[in-house]
Structure 1
């Protein structure tokens, strides 16, 4: 008897499952309902904080799955597991490292910790309540570089010398002490793989910080985002497939997931 095919889907949020401007996912509800009804797993993978991701995970109906938060710097456990927050925080150490950079580099980077909730809301389009949750950083610091590309390269190099990685997303550059969406995907696929299922891993994303995740699965799906230049063509890892969605945001997400679910085994 052959093993049952099961999908484990990893999804970016802003510009992918959520509309880039409205943060709405209504267009993806048919595919979300099918995933849930058929017993597949959906693991949200975002630069957002645990405080931001938890209510979204509840709203899409996959509160019993873990979530990858702050660009892979942490994992939010499923709701039923003990503790609803990521374990340990490196954010204070990260900010000390950032503040210790030469002033000509530090002054050109401003992030969520530098901004009030009002400014975060203005820069992101989030509600005040959501912006306050976005400021509850445990592992990482998103922000903007406001100088030359050469200066940005120096900024990244200086951070790298101090063990800090920089990941470019659709809106912000996110600083952390490591951990990527791709590495977390590998960890979680290994956790859920069993002999009883023919587990197919899928990832959807729209920005450069999603590439490692898209290359870590059996099927990577690039969702177009008209708000930025998009991703340059890239190759899958051996044995993987990269697909390019026709529609942006939740519309493209819905179309691609339904196509996978409707494909013959």
Structure 2
């Protein structure tokens, strides 16, 4: 039987990119090997298309689609960031329809100027401006307690809005997940072997759905609980954090699975 095509889907912040510096330098050996062998690397992030398009080109994977805004959209191969479209304005309006006491405890990117987004994310101002160019989703911070957050999420759900916790933010959208988009993109290929890498709760479904998933360590937040398929070896944990762990995971795939 011919070897199946290898597809790699990867989260960015805290996984391929260092949580604090946003550098991918430690992953460069594996990235270089993937580029040389033509393996598609599909970026899957809560970042906007405006952020991902230049990064995808810099990494050398502009010929492949990317999953943007936590699965709320797909940036097609070679495409630049859209200037319009999406349901962001509707999302912001819906956010303001939840009870006032709950709304007051959540602040999202739409409540902040670029300087505040830069402060909250650690991004340089120019990158923070790209992060503000949202079309599908709203990342933000819940400042209340866990019970209040549960009530906030339930109130949003009544209006068709879902909330997903990532490495830094609680992100709101009208739906779409990394896992769902991964399935859509994988279906474009014939029986691929799908590898997924991530570090946060919003990556869990993607990791569980892949043929092989890797949980990359991120000391900045609590580790993910045991995931479905982990006991059977379909999900593996890498102790090294961020791009160093990413490099180790991909090199393991290349060596152990013969790609």
Q: TM-score, normalised by structure 2?
A: 0.95
Q: Does 1:252 align with 2:237?
A: no
Structure 1: distance between partners of 2:14 and 2:130: 19
**Residue pairs, 1:16-165, within 5 angstroms:** 16-79=15-78, 84-85=81-82, 88-165=85-162
Mean alpha-carbon deviation: is it higher for 100-109 or for 12-21? Answer: 100-109
- Work out which of the residue numbers 198, 221, 224 in structure 1 matches 2:217: 224
Query: Which consecutive residues of structure 2, in runs of 5 or more, have no partner in the other structure?
Result: none
Partner of 1:204: 197
For these two proteins, the number of residue pairs brought into alignment is 258
Partner of 2:5: 6
**Residue pairs, 1:185-204, within 5 angstroms:** 185-193=182-190, 199-204=192-197
Kindly tell me: are residues 31 and 63 of structure 1, through their superposed partners in 2, closer, same or farther at Cα, counting changes over 3 Å?
same
SS of the residue corresponding to residue 188 of structure 2 reads helix
SS of the residue corresponding to residue 227 of structure 2 reads coil
Deviations 1:29-67 (A, max 9, x none): 110111111121100000000001111111111010000
C-alpha contact 1:170 1:228 (8 A) present in aligned 2? yes
Tell me the CA shift for residue 246 of structure 1: 2.3
SS of the residue corresponding to residue 245 of structure 1 reads strand
Tell me the CA shift for residue 5 of structure 1: 3.6
What value does the CA root-mean-square deviation take over the aligned residues? Answer: 1.7
Structure 1: distance between partners of 2:97 and 2:125: 30
SS of the residue corresponding to residue 179 of structure 1 reads coil
Deviations 1:132-189 (A, max 9, x none): 0000000000000111111100000000010000000000000000000011111111
C-alpha contact 1:218 1:240 (8 A) present in aligned 2? no
Tell me the CA shift for residue 86 of structure 1: 8.7
Partner of 1:213: 206
Structure 2: distance between partners of 1:7 and 1:78: 17
SS of the residue corresponding to residue 19 of structure 1 reads coil
Structure 2: distance between partners of 1:180 and 1:236: 19
